[in-house]
């Protein structure tokens, strides 16, 4: 920006002072200079159009410089306009008071050209940088808010409710630590009596993780649809994860990876087949609270294209549930930097083993909240609970 | 996070102390990339004084491991604390990176 691009306002009741200052500023290239002869006029002008800098005399009749300054600093819309006080050389205490109220700097009268150039230039440069940061921050905030809305809309929320032929209830929550994150959950039907449940956690946080999360979610769905079409739902979780993994390894020079738990639940029989790619072991439990952890030794997806994943199977008991989660739960820390850990999680699950999925999820999140207190959430949190049977 | 580089028995040893998380991992990544650009580098990363490593840290180790392989070099990691070892085990990262308990074992593995 050149000096002519800045709008300056001189406020002084003395016409000679205004004239001298305006002429000197014009010589420095500041050609966009407005003059006000008292405080009232100055405030009206400032409210009417934006200024980049106000040069303000202290001693004026009616509304003096302090009052103008106070009014500006009180108004959130005008607070950021920099003000340089104009003062007589012997007014040091007045200047100090103005700086305390929020003036940026001061210029002693009679005006010295070098000081004028330096202080006006520095104040305007500071304002330009501040404006730039504000613009940049607003743009980022808007972008991230949109990205968050898009990411949250990528996970389904039309949770199935129990029906005689499909006796399952399901509930899940996704809470990114920052605006966006790398956790995901998903559920979709691959056959009339078979639902696929997924919880995954991409390495790292924020935007890089969010991009890979979107990729992982889409790849898993597309591969599942292909397999379901090709073999009518008769495929194993390991086949699905192996194929999705080889796709996720392509064009992945940054070695992003995703830990995931993927299972297929036969809603008629309660039979569960699952594949665990480096994810925290979920819990399968009876309504009496007998827990089994579903862990394996398979590596996360995205790293080794030829890796062969394995499937295992388990059986839901009538009224039993499955609880899948990301490490944002167990790795959550309180203000003393202590980890939440799996013991407290298991205790909550046991005491809510016969609860509906939404109640179980709410209980887990509430217990976690009371543990972490005011400590900031450091990692994305995902929980999914599914109950089968009557 | 702090990094200290030295040479021992013709192996480059990079000591990493403090937290390796999504904020500091890129710095570690840059350092590893620059070290492993030298062909046939033998590099031992010593995590003896590391407090914490997140998935962002693991990711830069995998990139480094591939980088080492592409440039005919070798990479090993030692000194992981119990917590980090647990993470390595949950995700079975041992299949991807050579991990040994102590520096001496690391030097032996690379020689």
CATH number of the structural domain spanning residue B24: 3.30.750.24
Architecture of domain A3-145: 3-Layer(aba) Sandwich (3.40)
Is the per-residue pLDDT at B85 higher than 90?
A: no
Which pLDDT score, from 0 to 100, does residue A104 have?
A: 95
List CB contacts (< 8 A) between A256 and chain B: 59
Chain A residues 235-294 with a CB less than 8 Å from chain B:
253-257, 259, 278-280
Which pLDDT score, from 0 to 100, does residue A241 have?
A: 98
Evaluate whether A37 touches A60 at the Cβ level (below 8 Å): no
Which pLDDT score, from 0 to 100, does residue A78 have?
A: 94
Evaluate whether A41 touches A12 at the Cβ level (below 8 Å): no
Which pLDDT score, from 0 to 100, does residue A205 have?
A: 86
Could you tell me which residues come within 8 angstroms of residue A201 by beta carbon, excluding any fewer than 6 positions away? A182, A183, A258, A259, A260, A279, A326, A327, A328, A380, A382, B55
Q: How far is CA A110 from each of CA A41, A166, A208, A296, B27, rounded to the nearest angstrom?
A: 24, 88, 57, 81, 53
List CB contacts (< 8 A) between B95 and chain A: 299, 304
Which of the listed CATH numbers 3.60.40.10, 3.40.190.10, 3.30.460.80, 2.40.50.140 matches domain A154-388? 3.60.40.10
Q: What is the mean pLDDT of residues A152-174?
A: 94
Q: Is A255–B56 a contact, with Cβ atoms under 8 angstroms apart?
A: no
Q: Is A203–B56 a contact, with Cβ atoms under 8 angstroms apart?
A: yes
Cβ-in-10-Å burial (0-12, 13-18, 19+) of A102 comes to: middle
B7-24 pLDDT per residue, tens: 999 999 999 999 998 889
Nearest to B59 among A256, A297, A298 (CB): A256
Mutate to test the interface with A, among B33, B55, B92, B96 (most CBs of A within 10 A): B55
Per-residue confidence band for A284, with pLDDT thresholds at 50, 70 and 90: very high
What residue spans define the domains of chain A? 3-145, 154-388
Per-residue confidence band for A231, with pLDDT thresholds at 50, 70 and 90: confident
List CB contacts (< 8 A) between A303 and chain B: 62, 96
> Is A303's Cβ below 8 Å from some Cβ in B?
yes
Q: Is B62–A206 a contact, with Cβ atoms under 8 angstroms apart?
A: no
Structurally, chain B folds into a number of domains equal to 1
Is the per-residue pLDDT at B91 higher than 90?
A: no
A195-204 pLDDT per residue, tens: 999 999 999 8
How far is the alpha carbon of A254 from chain B, nearest alpha carbon, in Å?
6
């Amino acid at each position: 920006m050149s000096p002519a691009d800045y709008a300056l306002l001189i406020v002084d009741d003395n016409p000679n002072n205004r004239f001298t200052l305006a002429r000197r500023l014009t010589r420095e290239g500041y050609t966009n200079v407005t003059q006000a002869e008292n405080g009232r006029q100055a405030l009206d002008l400032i409210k009417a159009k934006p200024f980049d800098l106000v040069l303000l005399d202290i001693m004026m009749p009616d509304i003096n410089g302090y009052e103008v300054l106070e009014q500006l600093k009180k108004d959130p819309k005008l607070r950021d306009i920099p003000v340089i006080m104009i003062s007589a050389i012997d007014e040091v205490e007045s200047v100090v008071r103005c700086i305390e109220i929020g003036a940026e700097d001061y210029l002693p009268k009679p005006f010295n050209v070098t000081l004028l150039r330096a202080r006006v230039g520095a104040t305007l440069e500071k304002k330009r940088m501040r404006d730039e940061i504000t613009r940049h921050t607003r743009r980022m905030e808007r972008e991230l808010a949109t990205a968050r809305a898009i990411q949250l809309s990528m996970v389904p929320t039309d949770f199935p409710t129990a029906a005689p032929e499909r006796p399952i209830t399901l509930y899940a929550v996704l809470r990114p630590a920052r605006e966006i994150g790398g956790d995901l959950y998903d559920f979709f039907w691959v056959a009339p009596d078979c639902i696929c449940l997924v919880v995954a956690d991409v390495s790292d946080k924020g935007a890089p993780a969010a991009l890979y999360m979107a990729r992982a979610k889409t790849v898993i769905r597309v591969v599942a649809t292909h397999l379901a079409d090709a073999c009518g739902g008769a495929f194993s979780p390991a086949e699905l994860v192996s194929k999705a993994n080889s796709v996720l390894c392509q064009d992945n020079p940054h070695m992003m990876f995703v830990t995931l738990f993927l299972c297929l639940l036969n809603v008629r029989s309660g039979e569960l087949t699952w594949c665990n790619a480096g994810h925290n072991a979920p819990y399968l439990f009876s309504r009496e609270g007998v827990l089994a952890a579903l862990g394996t030794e398979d590596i996360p997806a995205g790293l080794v294209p030829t890796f062969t994943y394995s499937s295992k199977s388990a059986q839901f008991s009538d009224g039993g549930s499955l609880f899948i989660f990301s490490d944002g739960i167990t790795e959550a820390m309180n203000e003393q930097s202590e980890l939440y850990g799996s013991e407290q999680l298991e205790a909550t699950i046991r005491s809510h083993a016969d609860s509906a999925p939404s109640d179980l999820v709410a209980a887990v999140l509430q217990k976690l909240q009371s543990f972490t207190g005011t400590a900031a959430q450091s990692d994305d949190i995902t929980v999914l609970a599914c109950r089968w049977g009557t | 996070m702090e990094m200290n580089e030295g040479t021992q028995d013709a192996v480059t040893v990079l000591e990493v102390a403090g937290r390796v998380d999504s904020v500091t991992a890129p710095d570690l990544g840059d350092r590893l990339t620059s070290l492993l650009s030298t062909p046939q580098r033998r590099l031992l990363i010593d995590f003896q004084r590391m407090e914490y490593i997140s998935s962002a840290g693991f990711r830069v180790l995998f990139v480094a491991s591939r980088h080492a392989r592409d440039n005919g070099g070798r990479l090993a990691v030692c000194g992981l604390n119990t917590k980090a070892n647990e993470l390595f085990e949950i995700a079975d990262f041992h299949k991807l990176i050579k991990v040994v308990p102590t520096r001496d074992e690391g030097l032996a593995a690379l020689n």
